[in-house]
Amino acid sequence: MKRFPNNPILTREDVPAIPPELVDATSVFNPGAIRHHGKYILVTRVQSRSRETFLVVAESPDGLQFTMHREIVRLEGMEKLGKRVFHVYDARLTELEDTVYVMFAMDMEGLCHLGLACTKDFQRFTFLGITTDDDTRNGVLFPEKVGGRFLRMDRPNRAQVDGGVRTGNTIWLSASDDLIRWKPVAPLISGRFHYWDEFIGSGPPPVKTRDGWLHIYHGVAGHFGSANIYQAGVMLLDLKDPSKVTGRCRFNILEPRETYELTGQVPNVVFPSGMVVEQYDSEGFALPKSPVKVYYGAADTAIGLATTTVEELLAAAREGEIPSQGM
């Protein structure tokens, strides 16, 4: 992927003061992204000096220059949970039947859940519920039902990186009839120990192509002492049966190299979370030549944009497995 020359596209200096919670923001990162009614929308993660986390919408006419809203996203109905929610973060956006769904991480006492909210206008957001029983992050909805059911990928937090947070090394496919209650269907891919993607999690929601469901994920190399390196990669799932993995990149497609990715609140992080494919055919398949914009968190501090095409991503997903030494 190629970095946009004016990266980073959003930094703490772009975050307006939204008193009393948010003044002099510390960071803005890990955005969900969507093109909606001709505008590019990001739902960003913003932190204040208290290290509270807020979701704040940013919008743009061209996907390159964004303006942040002067209000914090309020998830209406979340107060009825009656339980403390420390943070909501890492939104992923999917449009289903004229409604935009936001799946996000919710840090609660002892574990992290996946929460679901919806909006039609990015002004009002309705909280729909907690959608997990176990510690889980990185939930992404498929943009349509497959085989009559809603599908998502999610990543149970069952592993621990040295010096890092609880994480996971398997992305699962789950299914649901109502978007709230989910059942695991099958594990999809697991971390490749010793290589770039030892710990993994979904990036942006998958994209429908004639060749299958194209999906960008993040991989963490945890074997470099104090520095966990977060990178981006790509995989492909069978169109009709997404529990079948048909491709996975050998090389990462983006890794921390620029100063704004190498240094910051958490160094060495590119964290892809939003993706806009510009062109689809009349049956809703992404066109191979279509430009693709990938929005990513850089060092948990700023937002970067990387560009590519659908066919380049498909080619990367077909690179194949990392061969074992000596075989």
Nearer residue to ligand BMA within complex by CB, 165 or 186: 165
Reported as type and span, the H/E element at residue 259 is helix 259-262
Nearer residue to ligand BMA within complex by CB, 78 or 91: 91
**How big is the site for ligand BMA, counted in residues (CB under 6 A)?**
11
Structure tokens at 102: 């936001």
Nearest approach, Cβ of 309 to ligand BMA (angstroms)? 26
Nearer residue to ligand BMA within complex by CB, 143 or 264: 264
Nearest approach, Cβ of 312 to ligand BMA (angstroms)? 24
Look up tokens 């703490």; give the residue.
12
Nearest approach, Cβ of 232 to ligand BMA (angstroms)? 12
* Contacting residue, 17, 23, 165, 180, with ligand BMA by CB under 6 A: 165
* Contacting residue, 115, 206, 272, 297, with ligand BMA by CB under 6 A: 297
* Distance separating alpha carbons of residues 199 and 161, to the nearest angstrom: 8
One-character DSSP codes across 19-84 = TTTBSS--EEEEEEEEEETTEEEEEEEEE-TT--EEEEEEEESSSSS-EE-SSPPPEETGGGG-S-
Nearer residue to ligand BMA within complex by CB, 27 or 290: 27
Q: Rule CB under 6 A: is residue 172 a binding residue for ligand BMA?
A: no
Quick one: 258 exposed, middle or buried, by C-beta within 10 A (0-12, 13-18, 19+)? middle
Look up tokens 């194209």; give the residue.
214
Nearest approach, Cβ of 271 to ligand BMA (angstroms)? 4
Q: Rule CB under 6 A: is residue 230 a binding residue for ligand BMA?
A: yes
Nearest approach, Cβ of 25 to ligand BMA (angstroms)? 16
Q: Rule CB under 6 A: is residue 186 a binding residue for ligand BMA?
A: no
**SS3 per-residue string spanning 148-191:** CEEEEEEEECCEECCCCCEECCEEEEEEECCCCCEEEEEEEEEC
Nearest approach, Cβ of 131 to ligand BMA (angstroms)? 18
Structure tokens at 166: 């609880």
Nearer residue to ligand BMA within complex by CB, 27 or 94: 27
Do 231 and 167 touch, CB atoms closer than 8 A? Answer: no
Nearer residue to ligand BMA within complex by CB, 219 or 297: 297
Nearest approach, Cβ of 174 to ligand BMA (angstroms)? 19
Q: Rule CB under 6 A: is residue 30 a binding residue for ligand BMA?
A: yes
* Distance separating alpha carbons of residues 121 and 313, to the nearest angstrom: 31
Q: What residue ranges bind ligand BMA (CB under 6 A)?
A: 30, 89-90, 165, 167, 230, 266, 269, 271, 297, 300
